């Protein structure tokens, strides 16, 4: 079982703040994420700047595309993204158009499906059947703030998605202490946000995540 990758979501409201933040821990993490908030605040400029800062890191644009898939994909990948996201409520045709554009930019470019709300395993199978092999399992920001905890049902759904053949990324207010909940699961990637960005020592917080990932999955 491979070690899960570590991704930090830059959900800053300005590019200046995002750059200042990621300079502290970018060398530790595996994936730099242009967070949804940052993308909508700064546009593709944020993707371009972060690509220049981290030419050798995986760069993900969390645009959560819902329509105009080919156009959005062209914007993301032209700016330097390796991966972009589609919201699970998008039509499969939209996701396919994103993936087609992704592959024009390179064989390793990809599209992740963000799981929010009332998605089903039938939906998931249709994504898989059309070449979409990455999903992001969420405890949403709003659900987290409302006090929703990770549940046995969450763990079972994640396990089922992995069994289907998906690379599963987990996110939603994750702290180092939460990681043990997912031990034994072949998690593709762990996303942290404020738990690293807002830490007293962000570099050390990122190193602590890496240490715990190695302890659990190593």
Is residue 64 annotated as part of the catalytic site, yes or no? Answer: yes
Chain centre to alpha carbon of residue 165: 17
Predicted local confidence at residue 144, as pLDDT:
63
Catalytic option among 29, 31, 37, 213: 37
Torsion angle (degrees, nearest 10) of CA 103, 186, 5, 183: 160
Catalytic option among 51, 57, 64, 109: 64
Query: Looking at 31-45, 134-148, 170-184, 196-210, which range is the least confident one?
Result: 134-148
Catalytic option among 114, 144, 178, 212: 114
Is residue 51 annotated as part of the catalytic site, yes or no? Answer: no
Catalytic option among 20, 23, 67, 91: 67
Whether the pLDDT of residue 11 is over 70: the answer is yes
* CATH code of the domain occupying 5-217: 3.20.20.70
Is residue 36 annotated as part of the catalytic site, yes or no? Answer: yes
Catalytic option among 20, 23, 68, 91: 68
Eight-class DSSP state of 119: -
pLDDT digits (tens, 9 = 90+) for 138-184: 875 566 667 677 888 889 999 999 999 999 999 988 999 999 999 99
Domain boundaries, the chain: 5-217
Is residue 86 annotated as part of the catalytic site, yes or no? Answer: no
Catalytic option among 103, 141, 167, 194: 141
Is residue 58 annotated as part of the catalytic site, yes or no? Answer: no
Catalytic option among 57, 109, 138, 139: 138
Assess contact for 109 and 77: CB atoms under 8 A: yes
Long-range CB contacts for residues 198-201, cutoff 8 Å, separation at least 24: none
Is residue 123 annotated as part of the catalytic site, yes or no? Answer: no
Assess contact for 206 and 21: CB atoms under 8 A: no
Mean pLDDT of 200-206: 98
Mean pLDDT of 31-35: 98
Whether the pLDDT of residue 204 is over 90: the answer is yes
Catalytic option among 58, 60, 63, 72: 72
Predicted local confidence at residue 141, as pLDDT:
57
Predicted local confidence at residue 118, as pLDDT:
86
Task: Looking at the chain, list the stretches that DSSP marks H as alpha helix, in order from N- to C-terminal side.
Answer: 15-22, 36-42, 44-53, 69-78, 92-105, 121-129, 141-145, 152-164, 194-197, 202-217
Mean confidence (pLDDT) of the chain? 95
Predicted local confidence at residue 142, as pLDDT:
63
Predicted local confidence at residue 140, as pLDDT:
58
pLDDT digits (tens, 9 = 90+) for 47-105: 999 999 999 999 999 999 999 999 999 999 999 999 999 999 999 999 999 999 999 99
In this structure, the number of other CB atoms found within 10 A of the CB of residue 69 comes to 24
Assess contact for 102 and 110: CB atoms under 8 A: yes
Predicted local confidence at residue 47, as pLDDT:
98
pTM of the predicted model over 0.75 = yes
């Amino acid at each position: 079982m491979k070690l899960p990758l570590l991704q930090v979501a830059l959900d800053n409201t300005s590019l200046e703040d995002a750059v200042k933040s990621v300079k502290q821990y970018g060398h530790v993490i595996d994936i730099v994420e242009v967070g949804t908030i940052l993308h909508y605040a700064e546009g593709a400029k944020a993707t371009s700047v972060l690509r220049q800062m981290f030419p050798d890191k995986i760069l993900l644009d969390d645009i959560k595309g819902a329509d105009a898939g080919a156009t959005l994909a062209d914007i993301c990948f032209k700016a330097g993204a390796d991966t972009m996201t589609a919201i699970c409520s998008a039509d499969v045709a939209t996701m396919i158009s994103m993936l087609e554009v992704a592959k024009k930019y390179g064989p390793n470019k990809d599209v992740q499906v963000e799981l929010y709300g009332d998605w089903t395993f039938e939906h998931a199978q249709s994504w898989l059947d059309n070449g979409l092999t990455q999903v992001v399992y969420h405890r949403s920001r709003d659900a987290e703030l409302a006090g929703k905890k990770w549940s046995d049902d969450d763990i079972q759904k994640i396990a089922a998605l992995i069994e289907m053949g998906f690379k599963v990324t987990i996110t939603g207010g994750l702290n180092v202490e939460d990681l043990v909940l997912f031990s034994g699961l072949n998690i593709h990637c762990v996303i942290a946000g404020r738990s690293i960005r807002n830490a007293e020592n962000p570099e050390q917080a990122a190193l602590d995540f890496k240490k715990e990932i190695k302890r659990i999955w190593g």
